[in-house]
Amino acid sequence: MALTVLGLSGALSHDASAALYVDGRLVAAAEEERFTRDKHARNTMPLQAARFCLSYGGISPQDVDVVAFPFAPVGLGSKARWHYAARYWYAPDRALDALFNGNRHYRRNVRRVRGLLQTLGIDWGRIQFDGVEHHLAHASSAYHLSGFEGRTAILGIDGKGEYATTFFGYGEGGQIHSIKQFYDPDSLGQLYASFTEYLGFEMLDGEYKVMGMAPYGDPDKYDLSRLIDFDGHDFRVNTRLVNTVGMRRYKEDGRGFYFSPGLIEWLGPRRVGDVADDPYVHYAASIQKTYEDISLGLIERYLKDIIVQGNGKLVFAGGGALNVKLNQKILNLPYVKELFVQPAASDAGTAVGAASYASWRRGVMPEKLHHVYLGPAYTNEQCIAACEAHAEQPRYEIVDDAAARAAEILHGGDPVAWCQGRMEFGPRALGGRSILGNPGHPGIADKINAQIKFRERWRPFCPSVLDTVAREMIQTDHPAPYMTITFEVSEQWRKRIPEVVHQDGTSRVQIVDEKTNPRYHALLTHMERLTGNGAVLNTSMNRRGEPMVCSPDDALNMFFGSDLQYLFLEDLLVTKAQS
């Protein structure tokens, strides 16, 4: 009998997703936001994502053996609850709640899961329910999917799970061992998120923007060490300034923030608008450096020996793992030889992690992750039907070679929307739901930012490159299939593809091989023939504030809501009707 495990996330009321494992093989995974068109799918459960996963896998509700969820009860004797209560002494309602009703969120989550399963037709009395501790789910999503053998160091950094915020451990023989954890409110992820709010961005979404802003500033111009104490072994966040709750929060127009009025008094008013200016660019640089320095110090303290014993292998998950600049610094450590960053490192990835852990716990080892093209795909016929039903009445033609045609348009200086095959799982567009440009064409990045993405002009774009040119471009053979690490770009390539090289000379590269995505690889091959550079500018197919597109309808709506002129829907080349 096959073991079928359905993983569900949404434990912390954001980034709901679903994943399906059958006998250790990850069959499907998708984020709820892509179906509901509500970014981060806040306060929802992954109903549409779960329906897709079951449908794609050909799994009926009666076939599901295990439902796994990334949240578990924490006993009163746990250090986590007592640490939380002690650190939140200034908010006694929260402190007492942690001690006397500390699993209230777990019970609420179980009720929500039961309601979802009832809607899906899955009998709660027949399945096994596996509540996996949140950071174990993150750890499993990285370790079990890395394909690394032997002793492997595991790092997890995020806002928080049940109570834990930071995880240091290792995996060996499939077993995950914890070495050290830190607990709320002592959270590196929440510190970065709090400062993200201060810099005028939304938590869960704006952390990328802070990271993109940081290279424009001087990290040494302002000393932010007052925010956090770190002695090389432990860290303690200053909750009089950040990671605040209750009456300590700064409030503006009735909205509470995760920082205090004291931060405003110290550093000045909260940033507003889209301009990256003084002093905020320097604050961004300083918080990025603070995050990097403490993370690297903790790796040195708790994981260095494990990494050395494991021949240089480290895996990383949690929302903090999406900080690609930190990942570059980790990879530059002399004892780190290979770094696997879970491509869906945020809480969306905990659906995969909970399911993979539940599978392993039942004696079925999860397979190595080979790609993240795990969402829906659409046929030419479905794309034609979407075009013919759309209110804007788009023009379309079926082309013999979509990759060659797209490369010709890109070579001419126009961007294209590229909607092909199965949708990616995770935050990065990797050639399934992408907007593409010619990275050697001057001004293409500004054009896409201003006319298509409608986002801040200073945010960088990233390249997808042929596996045959990657070594020459980024000067390393390290794998980079998921855009999770930045690399130094060689001087020669900085001149050849300047539109995808950031202010600091780095680039968040996706290396494309033919086996994983043959059509995208073919497009890059055509680009190399036309331009001499086997690379394209690649950004997610969405407008500012929206989720990445999923269906042909989504793609058409985005197409007509921007200045894009060319959209490839499978074999269809879609253009706008001439007025």
Alpha helices in 322-373 (DSSP H): 324-331, 350-361
More confident residue, 37 or 578: 37
Residue 464 has pLDDT above 60, yes or no: yes
| Mean residue pLDDT across the chain | 96
Model confidence, pTM = 0.97
Contact at 8 Å (CB) between 359 and 335?
A: no
pLDDT score at 108: 97
pLDDT score of 142: 98
pLDDT score for 275: 76
Q: HSE of 140 in the Cβ direction (CA atoms, 13 Å)?
A: 30
- Point out the catalytic residue in the list 14, 40, 138, 144: 14
Partners of 487 in the β-ladder: 507
Beta strand 17-22 with 25-31: parallel, antiparallel or unpaired?
antiparallel
DSSP 13: S
* Distance separating alpha carbons of residues 313 and 338, to the nearest angstrom: 5
Quick: pLDDT tens for 166-196.
999 999 999 999 999 999 999 999 999 999 9
Asked whether the predicted pLDDT for residue 513 surpasses 80, the reply is yes
* Helix residue spans in 311-349 (DSSP H): 324-331
CATH code, residues 380-575: 3.90.870.20
pLDDT digits (tens, 9 = 90+) for 223-271: 999 999 999 999 999 999 999 999 999 999 999 999 999 999 999 999 9
Section 468-489 average pLDDT: 97
- Write the CB contacts of 347 (distance below 8 Å, at least 6 apart in sequence): 9, 10, 11, 12, 14, 15, 70, 158, 319
Mean pLDDT along residues 330-339: 98
Q: State pLDDT tens for residues 541-555.
A: 999 889 999 999 999
Answer yes or no: is pLDDT of 376 > 80.
Answer: yes
- Among residues of the chain, what percentage have pLDDT more than 90? 95
Instruction: Band the pLDDT of 205: cuts 50, 70, 90.
Output: confident
Calculate mean pLDDT across residues 380-385.
98
Task: Compute the distance between CA of residue 138 and CA of residue 163 in angstroms, rounded to an integer.
Answer: 14
Instruction: Identify the pLDDT of residue 452.
Output: 82
Tell me the H-state helices in 315-469: 324-331, 350-361, 380-389, 402-411, 444-448
| pLDDT reported for residue 450 | 82
The whole-angstrom distance between residue 260's C-alpha and the CA centroid of its chain comes to 28
Query: Side-chain half-sphere of 471: how many Cα atoms within 13 Å?
Result: 3
Cβ density class 497-507: b for 16+ within 10 Å, e for less: bebbbbeeebb
pLDDT of residue 455: 74
Write the pLDDT tens digit of every residue in 2-23: 999 999 999 999 999 999 999 9
Q: Is the model's pLDDT at 437 over the cut of 60?
A: yes
Q: Report pLDDT digits (tens) over 58-104.
A: 999 999 999 999 999 999 999 999 999 999 999 999 999 999 999 99
pLDDT at 579 over 70: no
Mean pLDDT to the nearest integer, 31-52: 97
CA angle 216, 217, 222 (to 5 degrees): 170
Beta bridge partners of 178: 169
- Give dist(CA 281, CA 504) in Å, integer: 14
Q: What is the SS3 assignment for 65?
A: coil
The residue with tokens 């001499």 is 532
Give the model's pLDDT for residue 523. Answer: 98
Cis peptide before 279 (omega within 30 of 0): yes
**4-147+345-361: CATH topology:** Nucleotidyltransferase; domain 5 (3.30.420)
Query: CATH 3.30.420.40 in the chain, residues?
Result: 4-147+345-361, 188-341
d(CA 522, CA 403): 6
The segment(s) of the chain belonging to CATH 3.90.870.20 are 380-575
Distance CA 156, CA 303 (A): 12
**Is 177 an annotated catalytic residue?**
no
Q: Which residue type is seen at 527?
A: M
CA distances from 424 to 343, 373, 431 (A): 10, 5, 8
Confidence of residue 337 (pLDDT cuts 50, 70, 90): very high
At how many degrees (to 10) do helices 104-120 and 47-57 cross?
A: 50
Architecture category of domain 188-341 in CATH: 2-Layer Sandwich (3.30)
- The residue type of 579 is S
pLDDT score, position 1: 72
Rounded Cα gap, residues 85 and 74, in angstroms: 14
pLDDT, average across residues 396-407: 98
Q: Which tokens go with 318?
A: 């949690």
